[in-house]
Chains A and B, each alone.
Chain A
Amino acid sequence: MKKLTYLLLLLSSIIHAQSKGILITNATAHIGNGQVIENSLIGIKDGKITLVADATTAKLDKSAYEEIIDASGKHVYPGMIAPNSTLGLTEIDAVRATNDFREVGATLPNIRSLIAFNTDSKIIPTVRTNGVLLAQVTPRGGLVSGTSSIMMLDGWNWEDAAYKIDDGIHINWPRIQSRKYLDDDNIYPGPYEKNKNYNNQANELKKLFSDAKAYNETESKEEKNLRFEAMKGLFNGSQTLFIHVNNVKEIIEAVNFAKTNSISKISLVGGKDSWMVTDLLKANNVSVVVSRVHDLPDRPEDDVDMPFKLPSLLQKEGILFCLNNEGDMEAMGTRNLPFMAGTAAAYGLSKEEALTAVTLNAAKILGIDKITGSIETGKDANLFISTGDALDMRGNNIEKAFLKGSSIDLNNDQKVLYEKYKKKYGMK
C-alpha cells in the first residue's frame, strides 16, 4: 500500500515544461525588487514571464492564454532562493549514510555538490511547499569545501534539476580563535581558544590560490591539476568566491586575501560581524550571505535582537545581502526561510526589502539575477501564489508554484501522513 502511494507521488510530482500560456490575474504581485502591484496581471509563456502589468491600467487579450488563474485577494511572489544549502545532500542528520556534504581533505575545490544532489530527497518537497524553489547546493568542511551549483527544487535527476552549474567555490576562512569540542562528534562546544594553526591554514589557502592562478595563466601545462582547473572560473570572473567567515578580524583578512588574488566576485557567507566593516565591504564590492536570522547573539552583551536586525544594518549601509539557514537542522529548516525574512522585516527591513533578501538579492549574489529572482518580463517563470503574506506563518499558504513556467507538485510525505491520519480519525 505504501509503495503505491510513493509511486503515485512520483508520477504527480514532476510535470513537463508547458508551452501554453498561463495568465495570473488580480493578485497582489510582489515583484521582488521592492515594487508591489496591487492588482496585477502576470503572463507566462514557454517557461518565461511574458507580461507583468497593472490590471487597472493595462489592456489585455485574454484569448492569448489557455489557462487563466484568478488570484483575487491572493499574493504572487518570485520563488525564494536558499543560498548555501545542504538540501539534497542530507536526509537524516544522525545517519551518516545519508550525509553527502563533506569530503575528506582540506582543499577540495574540485568537489562538486551537483553530483550528489538527490532530487528524491523527502525533505525537498516540504521546502518548496513553503515557497522556496531554488537552492544553491553547497558542500561543507575543510578549508576549501568545493564547488556549489544552483538547483531547482523539482526535477527527475540532478542533471534535470540543475539551474546553474558550478556557480561558485566555497572556502572556510580559518578561525583566529577556534573552539575545542568536548566530545568526539563535535556537538558540545567548549570555550574558545586561540587557533595556533591560524597562520598555517591561512598560508595554505594563499598558496593554493596563487598556485592556481599561476597554473590557469600558464598556456602549456606540464601536468593536469584537477584542483587548479576547478578554480579557473574564480580568476576569469565566471565564478563567485564564497568565503565562509564571521569574525570581524577574519573578515578583514579574508577580503584582503580575495582582493590580492584579483577575484572579482566575492561574497561572505555568515558575516556575523559584517556590520562592523561595511566600508571595507562596500569599497570592495563584497556581498554577504547573512548568517541565520533565527539565531542567538554570539556575545552576552550583543544587542538582544542582533541576528534579527543584522539584515537591516547591512541594508542601511547599502551592502548587497541575502539570507541563508546554515546551522543545526539546516536542510529541513530551509522551509522557514520566508519566516526569517519576516523576522528581519520586524527588525528594520521593510516587508518588500525582506522579500528581496530571499529573492532578487540572492539571485544577484548567486549570479542568476538575469534569469530569475523577480517577477519581470523575460525572466524564468519561477514564482508562486500564496493565499496570504508568505513571510508570515499565518499567511504562508502556497496554492500554486511554478518553476520555469511548470506548475510543480505541492504535495509531500508529511501532508500524506496528515491526510492518512485525519482519515483514520474520521476528520475532515
Chain B
Amino acid sequence: MKKLCIYLFSLIISSCLNAQETFPVNGTANKNHTVYAFSNARIIVDPETTIENGTLIIKDGLITAVGSKIMIPKGAVMIDLKGKSIYPGLIDAYTNYGMPELKKATAWGPQMESNIKGAYGWNAAIKTETDAFRIFNDDSKAAEELRKMGFGTVLSFQKDGIARGTAAVVSLSNGRENQLVLKDKAAAMYSFDKGTSVQDYPSSLMGAIALLRQTYLDADWYKKDKSKKEYNISLEAFNNLQSLPQIFETTDKLNIMRADKIGDEFKVNYIIKGSGNEYQRLDEIKATGCKLIIPLNFPIPYDVEDAYDAYNISLTELKHWEMAPANALALEKNQIPFAITTADLKDKKDFWKNLRKAIGFGLSEKQALKALTTIPAELLNISDKVGSLKAGMLANFIITSGNLFDEKNIIYENWIQGTAYKITDFNAIDVRGSYDFSYGPDRKLLQLKIEGEPEKLKSTLFVDTAKIPVNTVVSGNSITLTFNPKEVQGTVRLSGNIDKDPLVMKGKGQLPDGTWITWSAHYISPFTENAKKDTAKKQSFTYGEVFYPFCAYGQKADDRSGFDKVVNDFKNRYNALLIKHVTVWTNEKEGILKNQDVYITDGKIVRIADDINASTLAFAKVIDGTGKHLTAGIIDEHSHIALISVNEGTQASSAEVRMGDVINSDDISIYRSLAGGVTSAQLLHGSANPIGGQSAMIKLRWGKSPEQMKFEGADGFIKFALGENVKQSNWGDINTVRFPQSRMGVEQVYYDYFTRAKEYDAKQKSIAGSKSASVFRRDLELEAIAEILNKKRFITCHSYVQSEVNMLMHVSDSMNFPVNTFTHILEGYKVADKMRAHNIGASTFSDWWAYKVEVKDAIPYNAALLTNMGVLTAINSDDAEMQRRLNQEAAKTIKYGGLSEEEALKTVTLNPAKLLHIDNKVGSIKVGKEADVVLWSDNPLSVYAKAEKTIIDGQIYYDIEQDLKLRQEIQTERARIIQKMLEEKKNGGPTQKPVMKKQQLFDCDSMQEDYLSE
C-alpha cells in the first residue's frame, strides 16, 4: 500500500478537457484533438471481459476503439503498456465530493417551526430542493486523493436532512465545473438523520419515519390536487425527483429493513447505503431485494492487553472487529448485489488495505471489480458513460502494473475524460538487484545489493565479510550512492547514469579526501523478496459464527443447508414438549391443578391431563416438572425495552408515529426479561405529549427480526399521557413553550384533536370511492385518532392524579370514544368507581411513589383496591430491570391489599392479556391457546422463584441450563478473539483503547436519544 501513499505528485501531462464552447478565450485558442493509443496492454474491458495484448484508443475525452487488432490512426501519441494493465476507472456511488461544508446552528430552547424562509414545506429536515449539481465545486485536493485510489467518477450529494434532494454524477478531473458534472440529477437521496435542521420535529427515529411517510402522501396529494391550495417548493421538488434512482442511507442493518418497509408502502425500491454490518441479518436483507452500497469501515482492534480493560469491550464489538471484513463476502455468497464506497472510512488511505482484506476473507476479485465499476454505473444509470471500456464511453481508465487487487499492484496513471493524472511513473527504472560493483583507484570487485521499495531503496555493499549500508537515491536516469567505507574515515559520494538493457550504472564521485574517482555497477541477478514480507499473508482470514441477535446470549442459526435442513424440517414438524408432573396455574376456573402433564405442539397447548403417556408421543421433548410450577407467560402492559427510541415529544400529538417502526431486536433486555419469565410486552411511546405514538405488541422472540417479534393479530393501541410529563413540569425552565403547560391545556388538546379527527373521518368516509377521493389529503396523525373513534385503535393512557383521570373520562364520554386502559394510574383507587362504570382497566405499579408531586398520594394498595372494585387491573414495569421481576411485583398485591395468589398472578398474565385484547390467544393455560408458558422452580409469586424455562409458541427461548452453556460459550468466544487481537498488536498493528459502551435504558421520560448510533 505504501506504493500508493508515496506517489509522484499528480501531473497533468495533457489536457483533453477542451475549453468550454460557451466561454470566451483569453489569448489564442488551444483546440486539441490528439489521439492517444495505448498498446500491448492487458485490457480489462469489464469484469467479464479481458483482452490480452490489446489496444485502447481515445480522442476528445472519449474512447474511440478497444480491441486486440486495432488500426492505430496515424499521428496518434503512442503509449506502450507492455506488461501493464488497463482497468475501467472506478466509481464511488456515495460521496460528498465537492459539496460545501455543513454548518449546524445551535438551538436554544424549543423550536417548533422551520426557520427556513421561503415557500418551503413545514419541516426543515425535508430538503428536497437541494440539487448537488448546483452547489458542486471542484475540489482538487479531495479529487487527487480519490484519483490516487483509482476513482474517476463519483456520485456526490449534500449529506443533510431526511430527504436530501438530488445527487450529481461528477468527474474527478480538475477544471471548470461545466465539464465535470456528468449527470445533473442522478439520484434522490434519503436518510433517517435530520441533519442540520434545528427544528424539534422529528427527535426520534419513528418521527423521522413518520415524517417521510407523510411527505410521500403530501407530495401525492400536491401532485393530484390541481386546485393548489398552496405552492410548496419542497413537495414540488419531491415529486420531480421520484423518477430517479432512490438512495437511502442507513446506519445499521435493522435500518435497512426499516427503509425497505417505507419503500414497500410507497412502491419505491431503494438502493440502500449500508453501514458494514449487513452480515448480521443477511436473510432479512436479502428478502428486501434492495441493492446495496457498502463501506469498508472495518474497526481496528482494541488494546486488550489489560484483562480488566478488555472486560469493557462487548462481544458485539469483538465479533464485529473480526467479521466486518467478511461482510462483502457474505453479501456475495448470498447474491445480494452491492457497490463498494469509500464512505465512512476514517482515513481514506485504508481503502485498498481494507478491500484487499475483504478479498483475503474470500470476496472474489471479480465481484470487487464489479462493485467498483459496473454495479455503481448501473445503479446510477450511467453504464453508457463509465464503468467499462467501450467505444463511445468516457476515457476513464487506470493503468496498473498488474492485477488491480494484488497487494503489490501499482496504479501508474488515472485517466479521466481523456486527461492523464500521473500517480507513479511507470518509466522509472527498477534498479533493484545484485551488481558487480567497483570504485576508486584500485577498482576492486565488490558486491552491491539494491533492495527495498522502488521509492525507498535499501542497498548494501559487501566488502570481505563486512556489510556497509549504502544510501541510494534514483531520480529519472541518474543515481546517487553514498556510504562510509571501512578502511577510511568519512563518506564516499558517487553519482552516475543508469543505462537500461543491460542495466549498467557508472559515473564519477569523490572519496572523503576529495579525490575524484570513477565507479561502475553491472547488473548480475534480480532482486528476490524476503520471505518475511509475508506476515500480511499470515493474517488469519477465519472468523466465528454470526449470532442472532449479534450480541452476547445470541444464538447461532441452524445450519439450513443440505442434510441438516431435512433434519430440521423433521424436527420442526414434530416439535413438541411434554411437561410432566407439574403444578399448573391455569388462570381459568380450574384454578391451580397439581401433578399435571401438559402437552404442547405446533406452538399450541394441546392437552392438560393427569397422565399423558410420553411413549405414544414421538418426538416430544419430555420435561420433568416435579416440584415445579407452570404459569402463563408474563405480559408487560407497559414496556420500553427493545426500542431504538421512545418519545417523539416535540408536538402535543405524535399520533402518526409507530413504535412498530423502531423495534430493536438486538436489545439484551429481551433476553434478560425472558430469564424473568416474560413472554410478551407492549412497547409504548413515552409520555412526553398528551397524544403519543402507536404501540407495538411483541413476543420476546429473542433472535428473531423486529418484524418477526410482532404479536400477530394483536389490536392496535396508542399511548396517551396526562400530567407532569406532558406539561413538561420537570424539564427545566427552558421548556415552557410547547402547548400544553397545564392540565387545563391538556383537556383542550384532546377536544381539539378529536374534533378535527371526527371531521376528517367524516369527510374521508363521505368521499370514499368518489373521484375526489384521489385528491383528498391523507393525514396519518388524524387517521390514527380517527381509528380510536372507529374503535380500531385503543388508548392506554399514562395517568396519575384523579382530576386528570376524571377529565379524560369526560372527554371520552362527550367525544364518544372509549379509553381502554389507564396506565400507571397511581390514584386510580380514588376514582375506581368511575373507572368501573366506564369499563376502563388499570395497569399500575406495585409500589412506586414519591418521585414527583403527582405521585405523592400513590399507595401500594392501589392494585388490590381497584381489583376489589371490579376494575380489571394489571401490574406493569415501565422499567427494564423491574420487568424481569414482575412476578415479585405481582406478589406485592398479596402483601398490600390481600389479593389471593391466583388473583396476584393474573395481574401480570391474564389481566394484561385482557387489557391488550390478546386473552383469546395467551394469558392462561388452556387447551387451544398459544403455548407461551413459564416453568418456575417454585411458587411463581415467591421471592425465591426462578424462571427455569420460558416458552413462546411452544419453543424454549430461555432455559436456565442452556444459559449456563451460553455463558461458557461467550467466554470462549471472547477469549478466542482477544487472542487474535493480541496477535495483531504484537505484529505492530494499530489498536484502540477499550471504553465501555453502556446501553441506554428507557422509561416514559426518556427524551433525548441519539437514535442513529447503534
Contacts and interface: CB of A to CB of B under 8 A. Distances in A.
A427 B868 contact: yes
A331 to B, nearest CB: 7
B1008 interface: yes
Contacts of B362: none
Contacts of A105: none
Which secondary structure dominates chain A's binding surface? Answer: loop
Interface in A293-317: 294-301, 303-305
B832 A425 contact: yes
A49 to B, nearest CB: 27
B312 A299 contact: yes
A218 to B, nearest CB: 39
B305 to A, nearest CB: 14
Contact of A417 (B859, B941, B946, B963): B859
A272 B219 CA distance: 55
Contacts of B315: 300-301
A300 B999 contact: yes
B544 interface: no
B1001 A296 contact: yes
A175 to B, nearest CB: 11
Contact of A329 (B669, B829, B850, B895): B850
Contact of A301 (B942, B943, B974, B1009): B974
B552 A414 contact: no
Interface in A326-349: 328-329, 331-332, 335-336, 339, 342-343, 345-347
Contacts of B880: 296
Contact of A94 (B308, B724, B1009, B1010): B724
Nearest to B894: A394
Contacts of B441: none
A183 interface: yes
Contacts of A73: none
Nearest to B897: A418
A92 B850 contact: yes
A192 B869 CA distance: 48
Nearest to B883: A296
Contacts of B850: 91-93, 122-123, 329, 331-332
Contacts of B881: 294-296
B996 A304 contact: no
Given A301-B552, A305-B675, A92 B856 contact: yes
Given A304-B963, A414-B859, A418-B897, A183 B316 contact: no
Contacts of A70: none
Interface in B288-320: 308-309, 311-312, 314-316
B802 to A, nearest CB: 10
A310 to B, nearest CB: 14
Which secondary structure dominates chain B's binding surface? Answer: loop
Contact of B894 (A191, A335, A393): A393
Interface stretch (B109-117, B347-355, B884-892): B884-892
Contacts of B995: 177, 191-194
A329 B848 contact: yes
Nearest to A181: B1008
A345 B314 contact: no
B818 to A, nearest CB: 23
A392 B848 contact: no
A304 B553 CA distance: 9
Interface in B862-890: 865, 868-869, 880-882, 885, 888
A421 B861 CA distance: 10
Contacts of A391: 943
B851 A301 contact: no
A294 B889 CA distance: 12
A343 B887 CA distance: 12
Contact of B891 (A191, A194, A394, A417): A394
Contacts of A187: 1005
Contacts of B852: 92-95
Q: Which of B732, B881, B946, B967 has the most CB of A within 10 A?
A: B881
Contacts of A331: 850
A192 B998 CA distance: 7
B997 interface: yes
B859 A343 contact: no
A34 interface: no
A422 B864 CA distance: 11
A335 B675 contact: no
Interface in A396-427: 396-397, 414-415, 417-418, 421-422, 425, 427
Contacts of B669: 296
Contacts of B853: 92, 94-95
A19 B631 CA distance: 52
A179 interface: yes
Given A94-B724, A343-B885, A300 B869 contact: no
Contacts of B832: 421, 425
A427 B832 CA distance: 12
Q: Which of B551, B882, B942, B974 has the most CB of A within 10 A?
A: B942
A138 B1000 CA distance: 28
A386 B98 CA distance: 76
Interface string B839-864: 00000000111111100111111000
Interface in B492-535: none
A345 B944 contact: yes
Contacts of B847: 335-336
A418 B724 contact: no
A177 B311 CA distance: 13
Nearest to B887: A393
B552 A421 contact: no
B592 interface: no
B943 A417 contact: no
Given A304-B671, A414-B861, A342 B944 contact: yes
A349 to B, nearest CB: 11
Contact of A188 (B942, B970, B1009): B1009
Nearest to B836: A425
A299 B998 CA distance: 7
A153 to B, nearest CB: 16
Interface in B621-676: 668-669, 671-672, 675
Contacts of B251: none
A299 B316 CA distance: 11
A274 to B, nearest CB: 13
Contacts of B732: 184-185
A92 B895 contact: no
A345 B944 CA distance: 7
Interface in B217-275: none
B943 A94 contact: no
A393 B888 contact: yes
A188 B1006 contact: yes
B777 interface: no
A248 interface: yes
B672 A296 contact: yes
Contacts of B983: none
B944 A392 contact: yes
A318 interface: no
A249 B310 CA distance: 12
B311 A299 contact: yes
B945 interface: yes
Contacts of A298: 996, 998
B458 interface: no
A183 B1008 CA distance: 7
5 contacts: A188-B1006, A301-B974, A304-B672, A414-B860, A418-B861
| The 6 nearest A-B residue pairs measured at CB | A342-B943, A301-B552, A94-B852, A393-B891, A418-B861, A414-B859
Given A183-B1008, A249-B309, A394-B941, 15 more contacts: A93-B851, A122-B850, A179-B998, A182-B1009, A182-B1010, A183-B1007, A188-B1007, A294-B881, A296-B672, A296-B880, A335-B847, A345-B944, A393-B943, A394-B891, A421-B832
Interface of A: 91-95, 122-123, 177, 179, 182-185, 187-194, 248-249, 276, 294-301, 303-305, 328-329, 331-332, 335-336, 339, 342-343, 345-347, 391-394, 396-397, 414-415, 417-418, 421-422, 425, 427
